[in-house]
Copies of this chain bind each other. A is one copy, B any other.
Amino acid sequence: MIAAIIVAAGRGTRMGPDVDKLFLEVAGKPIVVHAWERFAGHPMIDHIVLVIKDGLQSTFREFPEKYHPILKQKPYSIVLGGSQRQDSVWNGLQSLGTDVELVAIHDGARPCTSPQLITQTLSAARETGAAVAAQRATDTVKESNDGSTITHHLDRSRLWTVQTPQAFRVDVIIKALGYVREQNLSVTDDTAACAYIQQPVRLIESSAPNPKATAPSDLPILETLLARL
């Protein structure tokens, strides 16, 4: 069995103080509904876990009626998020049945992910234990210890920016995030937890655009990309 965990419990602030970007409508539907559709419509996915903020249960339960029947094609469950992203993912992982072997973890704010990328990420995770959608870095990146002077000029040809889906064998990600929680560490993405248990992570190059909604200026781009899907 393969599950998808859609993380929709975050608190982005760049859209404005009282705007939850996940519910902004793009191409006629909330952004998070598009993200959900990508997995509900994918043949490898058996079950979907939506990790959401408390109080929004009925909003999510109404989505399958209100928007696309494809959302009803896969059983789904709703889990409440935690205070940080890694806590939300952990709650989602705890809710999985013991028959789930592989899991794809996805940002609810990333609505345009291609079926190919989901397939490739899951397949690589089955093989290696962990895999992540990624893109070659286009920016020139520098490291600074103090935030005021460059301490290391990184070699751009070796840099990748990671996205989601991030896919894992369930035993691997439970072990990795479990260690991070035990040690009171904090990680910005789930693959970073793998480093603590020496778990290799495969990079899967996103060939199609797979942006995340972060700022208002992203919305017209998402609209254009969703129209092409």
Contacts and interface: CB of A to CB of B under 8 A. Distances in A.
A73 to B, nearest CB: 31
A162 interface: yes
A68 interface: no
B161 A143 contact: no
A141 B138 contact: no
A160 interface: yes
A202 B151 CA distance: 10
Interface residues of A, number: 39
B134 A214 contact: no
Given A148-B203, A201-B150, A203-B150, A191 B158 contact: no
Nearest to A196: B153
Nearest to A211: B217
Contact of A140 (B142, B143, B162, B209): B162
Contacts of A143: 154, 158-160
A203 B142 contact: yes
A192 B158 contact: no
A148 B191 contact: no
Given A150-B203, A202-B149, A144 B156 contact: no
Contact of A156 (B158, B188, B202, B203): B188
**Most chain B beta carbons < 10 A, residue from A141, A162, A217:** A141
A147 B203 contact: yes
B145 A141 contact: no
A159 B141 contact: yes
B138 A214 contact: yes
Interface of A: 128, 132, 134, 137-145, 147-150, 153-154, 156, 158-162, 188-189, 191-192, 195, 200-203, 209, 214, 217, 220-221, 224
